[in-house]
Amino acid sequence: MNILVTGGLGYIGSHTCIKLIEAGYTPIILDNLYNSKKSVLNRIATITGKMPIFYQGDIRDTVYLTTLFSQHPIQAVIHFAGLKAVGESVKNPLDYYEVNVQGSIALAQIMRQHQVKTIIFSSSATVYGEKNPVPYFEHYPTGNITNPYGWSKFMVEQCLIDMQKADPEWSVVLLRYFNPVGAHPSGLIGEDPQGIPNNLMPYISQVAIGKREYVSVFGDDYPTKDGTGVRDYVHVEDLALGHVAALKKHDQAGVHIYNLGNGVAKSVLDVIQAYHQACQRVIPYKIEARRPGDLPAFWADVTKAKQELNWQAHHTLSDMVQDSWNWQQKNPHGYPDEE
């Protein structure tokens, strides 16, 4: 079965492509290389023994998409492609709406033209907004979001839900991620942020390797066990397997929504301490002022994914930091431009 994977050379996309190949699927990768490297292809091939089909293109380019769909019988699409930095979205909101929202609409239109009516969308826990109590359940209302990145995910979800209502033959799977971390155990693929990392784990990794001086901890006066923000961290390997499990929903029309997380809350200081234990190096950190819009704590209820997809996360925080450190040691400067 051919699966189009948009953004398939990115952090989560590349791990998912490996799991797809191992499960017997044929991923066809579309990536514009804005936040990824072509050298990832060879590493996927090294791990799986198969070189994925790759197209360098943009989801907003409907002419290019039409050509791609015409050349391959595609059965389903896993849609990762998009911009993903919260802070950047506040500075450049129109870019996020153009790429994430308009790009997703362009993709769905071409899918409809070619009668491909199964899409698995890479969404985010940010759609739950500020008002809901924890843990987050899939039936909670969405909205009350604090940044354009989160609103763009919310908007794409709504577009896909409305599309499915208008044409009930569609199968729309919305996967709401919590905090993906870790790397492939081989150390060949992992998270390679361009510029200053936006997420905690890669920032800690760069401090541990000596690229950065210290970790900024934003707030130590939250109503949590140690005063720092609490989040739900999920290993990227578990997350990737969640997409393979979701593909089994492809023959069931409707809208299917799942949280993909560990269902366990860990604080910023928990993660720093776990990383210290993995690398046996001091991780300097400084307490900074809270960031506007940051929530004290959120984590997932993952009962629905376990019951309906037979999926649950198995990796511990220790596994996550060990695999992250393994990747960082083997790739201190991230991916090479070519390989």
> Which positions are catalytic?
149
Classify residue 251 as exposed, middle or buried by CB count within 10 Å of its CB (0-12, 13-18, 19+). exposed
Which stretches of 211-302 are DSSP H helices? 236-247, 268-279
Please state, in angstroms and rounded to a whole number, the distance separating the CA atoms of residues 102 and 156. Answer: 9
The one-character DSSP state at 337 is S
Q: Record the tokens describing residue 162, joined without a space.
A: 């409305």
Q: How far is CA 5 from CA 33, 195, 226, 287, in A?
A: 13, 25, 40, 39
Beta carbons within 8 Å of 95's beta carbon, 6+ residues apart: 83, 88, 89
Contact 10, 31 (CB under 8 A): yes
CA neighbor of 73 nearest in space, from 160, 173, 3, 166:
3
